[in-house]
Each structure stands twice: as C-alpha cells, then as structure tokens.
Amino acid sequence: MKIFNTRLSTLSDTQKAQLAEQYQADDYLLLDFDTRQHSRFRAITVSGEAVGVDLPRTGVLKGDDVLINAADELMQVIAKPQAVTKVTADDDFLLMKGAYHLGNRHVPLMFDQSFDQGDAGYALYFENDHVLAQMLENLGLHIESTSVPFEPETGAYQTGQGHAHGHSHSHSHAHSHGESHSHKKSHSHDESHSHSHGHQHSHSHHDAPVGRSNDG
C-alpha cells in the first residue's frame, strides 16, 4: 500500500499536469472534515485503491492539499461535500451573536459566501447538531440543512492553514469545490473517533461515511 507522508507547499507544472491526469482517472482522495483532522489514517481513493497517510501533526488537511510519498507519487485531497447546518440571519449583528455562542462551545465553524446561491448576506456552517440548531433558532437565526465541502476556520495563530472565503476556488484541474461529486464507492478507514466539547450536551455526527483514526 502506498504511504503518503509529506504535504507539498508548491507544485511544478509537471506535477500540476500529473494531478490533472489523476483527477480524470479518479485517482484522488475525497475526504470529509472529520477524516482530514487526523495526521495518520487509511483511506480509499475514488477509483478504489487503498492508501495510507502518515503526516507530521501540522494542522488539518485542506481541500486541494497535495501529498507525496518516497517514490515521488502524488495524491490530492479534495474536501468531500457533507451534511452541515447553514445559519443565516436578518442582520449581521444577530449572525455575529450566533457565531459568538457557537465559538463559546468550541464548535468548528465555516464562514463562507461561496455556497449561498447569490445571497448577498453572510452565512455560518457547522456539522449537524440538533441541540445547537435549536439554540440558534431560539436566538432568532435561520437554520437549514445543506451539503457542502466543510472547511472550518483554523486557529488565529495557525498561519498558512486557512482558505480565503467569500470567493470561488479555482484549481489547476477542471473542477471546483462547489461541484457535486457523486461516487458510490465506499470509503473505509481504520478507527472511529468521538469529539468531546466544553458544554453539556453530546454531539452526534451522522454524515461521516469516512472513518477516522485517533492519531489526529
């Protein structure tokens, strides 16, 4: 099994062309956020090949990160669309209030306009949790279920890890984050993992078909 243990920061034109060919052949990893939080795990490419990832603990894997192994083989990571909760509000102050309450509970949050289908307002996204959704509705915010590639904010002191938001993402190959991936192959990984949060209710993430390792 191929083991990818280095994350590339820059790509040559030759490597970009190679990734484009691999994408056409479904030779890439389509991973949800829960899996991308871990530095060591086993995964299945879209084409069905088992590979291993064994990285230094250098932060969450982002959509479009590229990995390389000892044989100089490449593997691109693409953020998998997953079920999340979208939060909007009638005014920015109310949305900011909602973000405060979610942040106070250490909930991973994505701030993005890319998936708002022309909506001029801002939106928050978080992994589905009916308790949090009810809290936000009680505050007067609007809640809806959707499916998007989930790329939450990283810590303010982690430079170089976040994506710029409020614009569409372009890639060297012919796809974008907003497109719909429909792959019927199953994705299997080694272990399951549970989150603990600093508040008094439990989180249950129901849309995580990709398993996870505990070595995040």
| pLDDT tens digits, one per residue of 167-216 | 333 343 434 343 444 444 434 444 434 443 444 444 443 343 333 343 44
Q: What is the pLDDT of residues 81-109, one digit of tens each?
A: 999 999 999 988 999 999 999 999 999 99
What integer is the mean pLDDT of 6-22? 96
pLDDT of residue 113: 66
* pTM of this prediction exceeds 0.95: no
SS (HEC) of the chain: CEEECEEECCCCHHHHHHHHHHHHCCCCEEECHHHHCCCEEEEECCCCCEEEEECCCCCCCCCCCEEECCCCCEEEEEECEEEEEEEECCCHHHHHHHHHHHHHCCCCCEECCCCCCCCCCCCEEEECCHHHHHHHHHCCCEEEEEEEECCCCCCCCCCCCCCCCCCCCCCCCCCCCCCCCCCCCCCCCCCCCCCCCCCCCCCCCCCCCCCCCCCC
Q: What is the pLDDT confidence band of residue 48, given thresholds at 50, 70 and 90? A: very high
Residue whose token pair is 């078909």 = 209
What integer is the mean pLDDT of 43-71? 94
How far apart, in whole angstroms, are the C-alpha atoms of residue 94 and residue 141?
A: 7
pLDDT of residue 112: 76
Q: What is the pLDDT confidence band of residue 155, given thresholds at 50, 70 and 90? A: low
CB-CB contact of 175 with 80 (8 Å): no
Q: 197 or 158: whose pLDDT is higher?
A: 158
Residue whose token pair is 């609007």 = 142
pLDDT of residue 137: 96
